[in-house]
């Protein structure tokens, strides 16, 4: 069952229950009003009649004055009037019922001859007609000498109540029908937005990442549409970056392969006695092979990170020794590029880390610094304690990073606009490795002023020897 049917069904169930309760209450109130009003009128007439008797006829016998009493009591009432003796026998009746009939079968009569006024509603024993009756005791000198009884048929009132009941039921059905129509319209407004979201999601599932959901209203569904569209934009951007990455990787692989193949052919068919040419060719083949190896290593690391299979083999690491080793490793490159590379490491307790992965991060960061720092510039590699953390910084005087690129350089496949950019994975992989160490990577940069990258590592993490990214 669709959400629209469920919504309309829920509306109808609530409305039907509400209308039924209201109908029952209203019909009950109507019945109570009509029947109660008749009962009050009859009781008032009986009370007035009894009071009149007690004031003017109390010294006379009820049986002897029954005819006069009947005419006086019935004069201003359309109800059936009965004069009843203290024994419960009927003395006179405006409808001509025979005198001497026993009236004690009626509960209101029994109460009246017992001295208490009472009302009764039920069916007349002889005609089976629905009636309402009120009986009041006739008293003389404080003693009950008889009773006066007013009786009214409920046939007309019952017909009126039935008519009002039918009107109320028709109104209730009309309300239910109107609510059903409004429920369909309102549910259509709600499910319309949901349907559009579903269609947009289906388009994205089929590969159309330009699909967007329309925002109809400023409500929860509108907020959901905004969230969906932001997600779609990110997915579209990531898809674009991925495609650019594949194109770049293809180019990165093709270029060294072309160079390797060219020199291999040259050395194969060239003059083997030219040692200078041979050395140059082998050096280029070695360099291009190293370049390919680095690219493949980055792709493998990216695959491990993406699938959650990268593991860390942790052990105590002396940062001062690690930084000096990396400095010695990259010193020849600094000399070749005429860049001042300095290493400063304060003494501190060892950090619990994977040394080879930490070395990979430092080499990646320094490689970026060497790429974007011109001849005559400087690069500083430092380590210092900061409370419970060890802070490693790589600071250069290079080109810096534009503000619009600063937040995006961490993203996978992002290469910026520089011609010196690599595969777009190095910095993203470095940040993930730092996160695996429960640390964080902070980048600060100003165009033309240089870049500073800080690695913050806890010096006393939980002593787990292996941590797998999740």
> All domains of the chain, ordered by start, with CATH?
3-159 (3.30.450.20), 220-307 (1.10.287.130), 311-468 (3.30.565.10)
Q: Looking at 98-102, 270-274, 278-282, which range is the least confident one? A: 270-274
Is the separation of the CB atoms in 469 and 305 below 8 Å? yes
pLDDT at 173: 92
Residue 368 CA, chain-centre distance (Å), reads 44
Q: What is the pLDDT of residue 1?
A: 58
Out of 53-57, 241-245, 334-338, give the one with best mean pLDDT: 334-338
pLDDT at 85: 92
Under a CB-based contact definition with an 8 Å cutoff, are residues 93 and 80 in contact? Answer: yes
The reported pLDDT for the residue numbered 275 is 76
Calculate the average pLDDT of the chain. Answer: 83
The pLDDT assigned to 412 comes to 61
* Contacts of residue 303, Cβ cutoff 8 Å, sequence gap at least 6: 309
Question: pLDDT confidence of 11, banded at 50, 70, 90?
Answer: confident
Q: What is the mean pLDDT of residues 209-215?
A: 78
- Is 423's pLDDT higher than 60? no
What gap in Å lies between CA 347 and CA 359, rounded to an integer? 18
What would the pLDDT profile of 368-417 be if each residue is shown by its tens digit?
899 888 899 999 999 999 888 899 999 999 888 887 777 767 666 555 55
Task: Identify the pLDDT of residue 264.
Answer: 82
Nearest to 112 by CA among 147, 139, 66: 147
Do 49 and 148 touch, CB atoms closer than 8 A? Answer: yes
Distance CA 76, CA 78 (A): 7
d(CA 75, CA 149): 14
Percentage of the chain modeled with pLDDT above 70: 89
Q: Is the pLDDT at 60 greater than 90, yes or no?
A: no
**Residues 467 and 317 sit within 8 Å (Cβ to Cβ):** no
pLDDT at res. 272: 61
Interatomic CA distance for residues 140 and 146, integer angstroms = 9
Stretch 246-260: mean pLDDT: 72
At 466, is the pLDDT very low, low, confident or very high (cuts 50, 70, 90)? very low
pLDDT at 467: 43
Grade residue 469 by pLDDT with cuts at 50, 70 and 90.
very low
Give the pLDDT score at 221: 76
pLDDT surpassing 90 at residue 216: no
Could you tell me which residues come within 8 angstroms of residue 109 by beta carbon, excluding any fewer than 6 positions away? 84, 88, 103, 135, 147, 149
Question: What's the confidence (pLDDT) of residue 62?
Answer: 85
pLDDT: is 424 or 437 the higher one? 437
pLDDT at 307: 61
**pLDDT tens column, 94-130:** 888 778 888 888 999 999 999 999 999 999 877 888 9
Residue 253 has pLDDT above 60, yes or no: yes
Is the full-model pTM beyond 0.85? no
Lowest mean pLDDT, pick from 27-31, 55-59, 62-66, 216-220? 216-220
Q: Which residues of 438-457 are buried (b: 16+ CB within 10 A; e: fewer)?
A: ebebebebeeeebbbbbbbb
């Amino acid at each position: 069952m669709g959400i629209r049917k469920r919504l309309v069904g829920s509306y109808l169930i609530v409305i039907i229950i509400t209308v039924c309760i209201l109908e029952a209450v209203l019909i009950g109130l109507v019945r109570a009003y009509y029947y109660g009003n008749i009962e009050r009128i009859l009781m008032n007439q009986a009370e007035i009649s009894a009071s009149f008797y007690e004031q003017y006829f109390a010294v006379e016998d009820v049986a002897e004055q029954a005819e006069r009493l009947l005419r006086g009591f019935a004069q201003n009432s359309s109800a059936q009037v009965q004069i009843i003796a203290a024994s419960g026998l009927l003395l006179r009746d405006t409808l001509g019922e025979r005198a001497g009939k026993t009236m004690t079968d009626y509960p209101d009569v029994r109460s009246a001859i017992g001295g208490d006024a009472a009302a009764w509603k039920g069916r007349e024993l002889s005609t089976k007609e629905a009636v309402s009756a009120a009986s009041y005791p006739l008293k003389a000198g404080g003693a009950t000498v008889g009773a006066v009884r007013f009786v009214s048929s409920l046939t007309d009132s019952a017909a009126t109540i039935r008519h009002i009941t039918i009107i109320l039921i028709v109104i209730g059905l009309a309300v239910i029908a109107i609510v059903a129509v409004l429920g369909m319209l309102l549910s259509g407004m709600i499910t319309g937005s949901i349907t559009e979201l579903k269609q947009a999601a289906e388009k994205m599932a089929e590969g159309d990442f330009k699909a967007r959901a329309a925002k109809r209203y400023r409500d929860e569904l509108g907020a959901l549409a905004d969230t969906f569209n932001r997600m779609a934009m990110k997915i579209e951007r990531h898809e674009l970056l991925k495609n650019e990455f594949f194109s770049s990787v293809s180019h990165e692989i093709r270029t060294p392969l072309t160079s390797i193949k060219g020199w291999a052919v040259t050395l194969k068919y060239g003059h083997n006695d030219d040692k200078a040419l041979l050395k140059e060719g082998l050096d280029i083949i070695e360099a291009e092979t190293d370049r390919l190896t680095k690219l493949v290593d980055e792709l493998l690391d990216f695959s491990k990170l993406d699938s959650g299979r990268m593991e860390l083999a942790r052990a105590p690491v002396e940062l001062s020794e690690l930084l000096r080793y990396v400095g010695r490793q990259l010193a020849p490159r600094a000399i070749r590029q005429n860049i001042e590379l300095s290493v400063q490491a304060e003494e501190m307790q060892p950090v619990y880390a994977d040394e080879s992965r930490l070395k990979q991060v430092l080499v990646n960061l320094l490689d970026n610094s060497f790429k974007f720092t011109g001849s005559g510039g400087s690069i500083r590699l430092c380590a210092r304690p900061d409370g419970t953390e060890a802070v490693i910084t790589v600071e250069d005087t290079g080109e810096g990073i534009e503000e619009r690129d600063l937040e995006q350089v961490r993203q996978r496949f992002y290469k910026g606009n520089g011609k010196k950019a690599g595969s777009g994975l190095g910095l993203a992989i470095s940040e993930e490795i730092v996160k695996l160490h429960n640390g964080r990577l902070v980048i600060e940069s100003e165009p033309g002023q240089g870049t500073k990258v800080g690695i913050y590592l806890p010096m006393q993490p939980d002593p787990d020897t292996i941590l797998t990214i999740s």
